[in-house]
Structure 1
Amino acid sequence: MSEWDKSVGVIVAEIKMMDAGSKCLYWLLEGPSDIKFFSSRKKECVELIVSGGKRNVIGSIQAFAGEPIYERLLGIVDADIDWLLTDHPRPDNIITTDPRDLEGVLLRSSAYFKVLAEFASPAKVKAFEDKKGCSVLDYVRDTAVFFGRIRAVNDLNEGISLKKFKPQIFMLNGSWEYDFDAAVNFAVTKGVCVSVEELLSKMHALPDVFVWNYVRGHDAVDILTGGLVSELGGGGKVDGGRIESVLRSGIDEAEFGETKLFRSINDWHAVKQI
């Protein structure tokens, strides 16, 4: 069974089986990349459970409500755009990342510069930044925001599936540029809105908040990968998986300690006196 194919029932059974032998604390995480990040950052008394998405994390914890083990469960999920949605109740022992997800946290840290050091040509980075008048990270962020605003409108409209809506399919051949008109038309064709005009209007009307709230981390990694492959690369192999690996290992622990996520985890453990 794939880690993304788990059901709440499977997760509940898994935790009960583990708990029969050892009364641990359990962190329920969304996916395999979260396991990789937190495996070296958890306390010894904690077992990590990959749940296959946010809904399963929340549903599994809710399934234990009223049982003694409930107090030993912590769910860690991406913030996504839950702040924009009016109806997203969750148990008290669910905490969220800083905006908008773990990849966004890592890209805003010194881990980003380690990605460039590993995969980029300094001369090509400088040439690109001189041409664009902004940093590579700002370009990645601003490009990801465009796609993120489309996703936000879709979520507010009680959305259709956008699994195939990836920045890479709108990247122009031969350059690190994107066909934003094609992205809008694609979204309308899929049913995000009834017209291009309506979608653009709703995108423009979204709240003006900390810009990373609209950046889906996987989109940003996809965009950065496109840049490294097309214009910035230093000659080695690069793909999204390699970039995410460097990001996970590259954040300084002092930086992670400054995040809301770290403080929320510590606060939960303090209540448990661990």
Structure 2
Amino acid sequence: MEEFITNERIANSIMQNKSFKGYYLIVEGPKDSKLYGKFFNSDKVSIKEAFGNQRVQDIFKILTERGFDKKLGIIDSDFRKITGNEVDIDGIFMTDDHDIEVMIMKTKALDDVVRVFCSQSRVQAFEKEKGISIKNKIFDLGKEIGYLKLANKTFDLGLVFKPKNPEGNHLKYKNFICDKTLDFLGTDKMITTTNNYSVNKSSKIESIQVISERLTETKETEYILEQLVNGHDLSQILYILMKKVLKSRNRMLQDHNSIEDSLTLAYDLNDFKETYLYEDIQNWSEQREIEILLT
């Protein structure tokens, strides 16, 4: 359905709505809309989903060319702050970290969600056994596949990490992260799993040997962890932890999507106010003498 909604159609819907006199916030998708909708004044800001990072920028450009200036956009940083390819467009803002899920999981929201879904005694036993907090453990595991994704982007390895459509089959994280102990099973299994998943989804995939060499080369450089890890990976890892390792029986814990929804609910305005993203939008709105953020 989303692929049939063109950038022009979204831009047209914005410009043709004469009943709304406020600003339009253009975001990547439904999850962004749910999160940011909590922090903007709904009387003054209407949120439009663009269905993609690049599409936010493309719709923004169309509106600019048509002389429509009552707009702003928010996109995930992805690897841009690592590669130095940051978006420099007035009115488009990037997340502090790789994406909104990483931004959320840095905060107490992660602890709140784990507390709701899991027995505290099991959480404490796990952290004592591993000698590390749950937050640090999932970020450490996310770093492994984060490096692989960065290598894939840098060297065009042809790997695919997610289905084309949300309802498609997902990468099997349990093939390289043990669903009994949450231990990393090694880069070889991670590469093999990702390579097998990419078959018939990519036009050209490099050999296992080349992928391994490029990954080793990429890992020679240390990056800011929050820029390297991907929130989707973290939520998948967190699901394995809570469902399989900590054996949560909470019926609301269905998959990684239920975790991301719960994190969105747990993340509040005070958390958002601590971000550079909030500060940048606030400064931008003050320059235009408008009040679009909740305070």
TM-score, normalised by the number of residues in structure 1? 0.89
Cα deviation, residue 222, structure 1: 0.7
The code of the aligned residue for 1:183 comes to M
The code of the aligned residue for 1:203 comes to T
Q: 1:17 to 1:148 in 2, by over 3 A?
A: same
1:73 aligns with 2:79: no
Q: Could you list the per-position Cα deviations for residues 107-149 of structure 1 after superposition, in whole angstroms to 9, with x for gaps in the alignment?
A: 1111111111110111111111111110111110000111011
Quote the residue 1:126 is aligned against: 124
Task: Give the secondary structure class of the aligned counterpart of 1:209.
Answer: coil
Quote the residue 1:54 is aligned against: 53
Cα deviation, residue 5, structure 1: 5.2
1:185 aligns with 2:157: no
Quote the residue 1:212 is aligned against: 226
Cα deviation, residue 187, structure 1: 4.4
Quote the residue 2:176 is aligned against: 170
Task: Give the secondary structure class of the aligned counterpart of 2:127.
Answer: helix
1:195 aligns with 2:210: yes
The code of the aligned residue for 1:141 comes to F
Quote the residue 1:253 is aligned against: 269
Quote the residue 1:241 is aligned against: 257
Partner Cα separation in structure 2 for residue 147 and residue 192 of structure 1: 17
Cα deviation, residue 214, structure 1: 0.8
Contact 2:157–2:211 (Cα < 8 Å) also in 1: no
Cα deviation, residue 235, structure 1: 2.0
Quote the residue 2:155 is aligned against: 157
Q: 1:234 to 1:183 in 2, by over 3 A?
A: closer
Task: Give the secondary structure class of the aligned counterpart of 2:46.
Answer: strand
Contact 2:25–2:71 (Cα < 8 Å) also in 1: yes
How many residues were matched structurally? 270
The code of the aligned residue for 2:105 comes to L
Q: Could you list the per-position Cα deviations for residues 5-25 of structure 1 after superposition, in whole angstroms to 9, with x for gaps in the alignment?
A: 53212211221222x333320
Quote the residue 1:35 is aligned against: 33
Question: Could you list the runs of 5+ residues in structure 1 that have no partner in the other structure?
Answer: none
Quote the residue 1:223 is aligned against: 237
Q: 1:256 to 1:88 in 2, by over 3 A?
A: closer
Q: Could you list the per-position Cα deviations for residues 49-98 of structure 1 after superposition, in whole angstroms to 9, with x for gaps in the alignment?
A: 011010110000011224331x2111100011112335555522210011
Partner Cα separation in structure 2 for residue 32 and residue 159 of structure 1: 29
Cα deviation, residue 169, structure 1: 4.6
Q: Which moved more, 1:181-190 or 1:56-65?
A: 181-190
Quote the residue 1:135 is aligned against: 133
What stretches of structure 1 move > 6 A for 4+ residues in a row?
none
* RMSD, aligned α-carbons: 2.2
